[in-house]
Amino acid sequence: MPFAKPRDDKPEVPHCPDCKTEMAAVLSVPLAYAPGFEDVFYECPTCTHEVKRTAIPM
């Protein structure tokens, strides 16, 4: 069974679903019910659309 290769790259930054601009992370909150995970909130600098992604911190 092969081992997973460690990630040395940065996580992918989402693009705005409305205007397709690269979004900026504005807040990161650890999840109390899922240790080791966090909710990352992104905001579009152009149209202020917001998105939330759940991720494993790097």
Give residue 8's pLDDT. Answer: 59
Is the per-residue pLDDT at 41 higher than 80?
A: yes
The string of pLDDT tens digits covering residues 2-27 is 555 555 556 688 999 999 999 999 99
How high is the pLDDT of residue 34? 86
Per-residue confidence (pLDDT) for residue 5, from 0 to 100: 56
49 pLDDT more than 80? yes
The domain ranges of the chain are: 13-58
Q: How far is CA 18 from CA 1, 2, 5, 29, 49, in A?
A: 42, 40, 34, 25, 8
